[in-house]
């Protein structure tokens, strides 16, 4: 397998003053691990997602805490007794009014929303699952906001005939169910994707609607917003004009960010290619960032096209945030432009910065893994901005090996921190391509298991750190070069992570066992 960090950056001239960043993968010793979203509190970074721990049959939720340099502070895991926990991409994590943390997930088989409430350090206060249907039905809930009297959980519920309705669950501060409702229009598929507390008794839920033509020739989409009060009664509804899948503007809201006198939203719609049979499922994903005023009139729209016309829906944007310099950051994934007949199996993390008028300032594509015979699906699913302007994106990478057994397939989380110019190292060139394939290829750490010493063979200059599986650091050795012997006599028997940190802030992690 090849390990590659591949970076392309394009930007116009702007000044940057923030600190160096990093890009690295995380699994904290779990055979399955994904990061779905992030929260920043006083420049401490909180990560949430799902993991499958060693010797466990169930996937669980977790809350990991890292510092602004990417070092693990702590991690906590949260289980259901009789089901896996799954989380949608960009599932919400929020800071609560009592200083704690709240996260939303879903039970895998029952497809019910789950609310997880913890203190600031991740200590569990309660985990509660809510039945949203009398019978199991496909559903995804990824919206979470706090109100003065409780929490609103939202998403979508399949009501039959593959048509979705917006689903809302309202609970009190103890997690006790107060009410649950669905909202939808006959023959339309309604999807709730994001929400905002507009006033003490007014909640705005945004999303998209689709009218699926059974013959596949007249599919239509639109954006829609509903306003409800704290009892779930509809106060107001706004729906955009109905468009077909060949028009330029429109489509459902994926995520939105309130701004002064308006809203910024990510819009998505499929564009079917009329000269290809629909059975081939050939379509292009059209992505937009749209600015609207308070009455939802479009002020400007920035569309992102791809030279690869048939992108199979792989191009996506998942999250949007504002920056201190009045910029706009959006993140997602983009299909890789490789000279490879299987290029659709290769995607890159995609980050874009716009100015307040929608002009693109820079964008970057990032990849940690590439191998010849398999699927590498890199995606940024969440983004946040630190107090100094640095940008932190999080996500996960799916790795599928076509020529290896199915149990070799795995997911890995990854995190990147860049400055406001999109640079890991301040002052990067306007076009940078960094390939550390050879660095990773030449690294050898042995023996494993080890008793007294570890031999580290690596080219270049690097620092060494050793952590246990809770993130506690036991060993630091700086200024290493080439081949180094690490003495581990003082470590008790167990599983550890050795981290090599190179000069360009690229980190390599390997698990080893001390016997």
Distance, in Å, from the CA atom of 474 to the CA atom of 301, rounded to the nearest integer, reads 51
Mean pLDDT across the stretch 498-505? 68
Pull the structure tokens for residue 480: 């290493």
- Is residue 70 a contact partner of residue 467, using CB atoms and an 8 Å limit? no
Question: Which pLDDT value is given to residue 218?
Answer: 56
200-215 per-position pLDDT tens digit = 999 999 988 877 665 5
Distance, in Å, from the CA atom of 390 to the CA atom of 421, rounded to the nearest integer, reads 9
- Is residue 158 a contact partner of residue 167, using CB atoms and an 8 Å limit? no
Residue 448, pLDDT > 80, answer: yes
Distance, in Å, from the CA atom of 128 to the CA atom of 288, rounded to the nearest integer, reads 36
Pull the structure tokens for residue 184: 């939808």
Residue 339, pLDDT > 60, answer: no
Continuous H helices in 96-136:
none
Residue labelled with tokens 């981290």: 499
- Other residues' Cβ atoms within 10 Å of the Cβ of residue 498: 21
Per the DSSP assignment, residues forming a β-bridge with 168 are 154, 181
Q: For residues 293 and 494, which has the higher predicted lDDT (pLDDT)?
A: 293
Confidence band (pLDDT; 50, 70, 90) for 132? confident
- Tell me how far apart the terminal alpha carbons of the chain are, to the nearest angstrom: 28
Continuous H helices in 431-474:
437-442
Question: Which pLDDT value is given to residue 82?
Answer: 87
Q: How many residues does the chain have?
A: 515
CA dihedral 25, 400, 51, 384 (to 10 degrees): 50
Determine the 3-state secondary structure of 344 from DSSP: helix
* Spatial CA neighbour of 286 closest among 265, 309, 305: 305
- Other residues' Cβ atoms within 10 Å of the Cβ of residue 67: 11
Question: Which pLDDT value is given to residue 97?
Answer: 97
Q: Look at 370-374, 436-440, 465-469, 475-479 and tell me which has the smallest mean pLDDT.
A: 436-440
CA dihedral 329, 256, 281, 412 (to 10 degrees): 60
Question: Which pLDDT value is given to residue 408?
Answer: 59
Highest mean predicted confidence (pLDDT) among 21-25, 43-47, 136-140, 212-216: 43-47
Residue labelled with tokens 């750190």: 465
Pull the structure tokens for residue 275: 């000269």
Question: Which pLDDT value is given to residue 216?
Answer: 52
Q: Are strands 453-468 and 444-446 parallel, antiparallel or unpaired?
A: antiparallel
Confidence band (pLDDT; 50, 70, 90) for 266? confident
Average pLDDT along the chain:
80
64: Cα separation from own chain's centroid: 14
DSSP element (H, E) containing 224: strand 220-228
Q: What is the pTM of this model?
A: 0.79
DSSP element (H, E) containing 50: strand 44-52
49-100 per-position pLDDT tens digit = 999 877 777 899 999 999 999 999 999 999 998 889 988 888 999 999 999 9
267-316 per-position pLDDT tens digit = 876 665 444 444 444 556 678 899 999 998 999 999 886 544 444 557 88
The DSSP string of 316-348 is EEEEEEE-TTS-EEEEEEEE---S-TTGGGEEE
How much is the CA Rg of the chain, to the nearest whole Å?
A: 23
Largest CA distance in the chain: 70
Instruction: Count Cβ atoms within 10 A of the Cβ of residue 115 and give its class: 0-12 exposed, 13-18 middle, 19 or more buried.
Output: buried
Pull the structure tokens for residue 475: 């060993």
Q: Are strands 60-66 and 72-78 parallel, antiparallel or unpaired?
A: antiparallel
Question: Which pLDDT value is given to residue 368?
Answer: 75
């Amino acid at each position: 397998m090849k390990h590659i960090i591949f970076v392309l950056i394009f930007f116009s001239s702007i000044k940057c003053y923030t600190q160096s960043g990093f890009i690295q993968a995380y699994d904290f010793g779990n055979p399955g691990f994904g990061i779905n979203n992030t929260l920043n509190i006083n420049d401490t970074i909180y990560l949430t997602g799902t993991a499958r721990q060693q010797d466990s049959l169930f996937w669980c939720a977790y809350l990991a805490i890292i510092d602004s340099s990417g070092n693990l502070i702590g991690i906590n895991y949260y289980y259901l007794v009789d089901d896996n926990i799954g989380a949608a991409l960009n599932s919400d994590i929020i800071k609560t009014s009592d200083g704690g943390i709240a996260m939303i997930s879903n039970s895998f088989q029952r497809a019910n929303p789950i609310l997880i409430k913890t203190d600031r350090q991740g200590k569990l206060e309660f985990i509660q699952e809510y039945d949203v249907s009398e019978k199991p039905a496909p559903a995804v809930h990824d919206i979470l906001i706090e109100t003065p009297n409780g929490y609103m959980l939202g998403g979508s519920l399949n009501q039959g005939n593959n048509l979705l309705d917006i689903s809302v669950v309202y609970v009190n501060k103890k997690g006790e169910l107060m009410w649950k409702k669905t909202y939808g229009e006959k023959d339309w598929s309604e999807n709730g994707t994001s929400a905002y507390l507009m006033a003490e008794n007014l909640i705005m839920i945004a999303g998209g609607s689709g009218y699926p033509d059974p013959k596949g020739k007249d599919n239509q989409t639109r954006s829609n917003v509903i306003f409800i009060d704290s009892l779930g009664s509809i106060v107001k509804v706004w729906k955009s004009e109905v468009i077909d899948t060949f028009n330029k503007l429109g489509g459902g809201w994926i995520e939105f960010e309130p701004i002064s006198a308006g809203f910024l939203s990510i819009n998505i719609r499929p564009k079917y290619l009329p000269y290809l049979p629909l059975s081939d499922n050939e379509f292009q994903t059209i992505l937009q960032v749209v600015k609207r005023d308070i009455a939802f009139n479009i002020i400007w729209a920035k569309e992102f096209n791809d030279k690869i016309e048939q992108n199979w829906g792989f191009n996506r944007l998942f999250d949007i945030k504002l920056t201190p310099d009045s910029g706009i950051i959006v993140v997602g994934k983009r299909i890789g432009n490789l000279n490879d007949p299987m290029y659709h199996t290769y995607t890159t993390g995609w980050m874009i910065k716009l100015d307040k008028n929608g002009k693109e300032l820079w964008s970057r594509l990032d990849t940690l893994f590439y191998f010849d015979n398999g699927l590498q699906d890199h995606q940024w699913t969440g983004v946040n901005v630190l107090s100094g302007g640095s940008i932190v994106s999080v996500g996960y990478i799916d790795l599928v090996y076509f020529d290896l057994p199915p149990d070799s397939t795995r997911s890995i989380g990854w995190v990147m921190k860049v400055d406001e110019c999109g640079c890991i190292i301040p002052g990067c060139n306007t076009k940078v391509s960094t390939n550390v394939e050879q660095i990773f290829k030449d690294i050898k750490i042995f023996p494993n298991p080890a008793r007294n010493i570890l031999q580290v063979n690596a080219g270049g200059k690097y620092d060494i750190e050793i952590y246990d599986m809770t993130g506690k650091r036991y060993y630091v050795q700086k200024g290493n070069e080439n081949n180094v012997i690490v003495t581990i006599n003082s470590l008790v028997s167990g599983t550890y992570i050795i981290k090599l940190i190179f000069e360009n802030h690229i980190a390599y992690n390997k698990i080893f066992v001390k016997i």
